[in-house]
Amino acid sequence: MTKITELKDRINIKTGNFVLLSFATAGLYPLFWIWENSKHIDEVTETKTIDNVYLLWLIACYGWSTVLYVEDIKELLFLSGVFSLVSGVLCVVWAFRVRRALQNYALNEYGIYLQMNRFYTVFLNLYYINYCINDLPEVLRKQQVFTDMETSRASKELEKDEA
């Protein structure tokens, strides 16, 4: 069994910093983040979430959406919009695959049902995934507290029944 903090330690970026870096790099940092951290997520969860070819298509679509963004030429602007939409959909698909891998990892390794909001996965995809990865140790701690409370409550009830 791996440590619950292993994935957080490997990725090692707070969500606030992730958002700031996204703005500072005009949206390039999230692509770098996906490329670098997909490997870590796959290794820790022992799941193949996405192929490198898929990631290359994601980067290509994002690149073409940026290059073709010319306001004076409507056809290029339309193509830019199409590529932008496709790259957004590819990010959402990636996020849902990682979401499933994280949920399975948490359940199989630690017995945690990791509740991840679908709405946030769609609209905040990379940032929400990063937040959930950083929050895994806290989710485990909370579950252990609730389990300990339930165990002590059950033992107290058992003592009352025996008396």
Is residue 143 in some structural domain? no
Q: What angle do CA 122, 92, 137 make, to 5 degrees?
A: 70
Into how many domains does the chain fold? 1
Reference 135, options 108, 102, 109; nearest CA is 102
Q: What phi, psi does 51 have (nearest 5°)?
A: -85, 155
Asked if the structure places residue 56 within a domain, the reply is yes
In a domain, residue 163? The reply is no
Q: Tokens 């994935």 correspond to what residue?
A: 7
* Residue 46, phi-psi category: left (phi > 0), alpha (psi -120 to 50), beta (remainder): left
Q: CB-based contacts of 41: which residues, under 8 Å, 6+ apart? A: 7, 47, 49, 98, 101, 102, 133
pLDDT score recorded for residue 93: 97
Residue 142 is assigned to a structural domain of this protein: no
| Segments forming the whole domain that contains residue 126 | 6-135
Tens digit of pLDDT for each residue in 32-56? 999 999 999 999 999 999 999 999 9
Tens digits of residue pLDDT in 82-130: 999 999 999 999 999 999 999 999 999 999 999 999 999 999 999 999 9
49 falls within a domain: yes
Is residue 153 in some structural domain? no
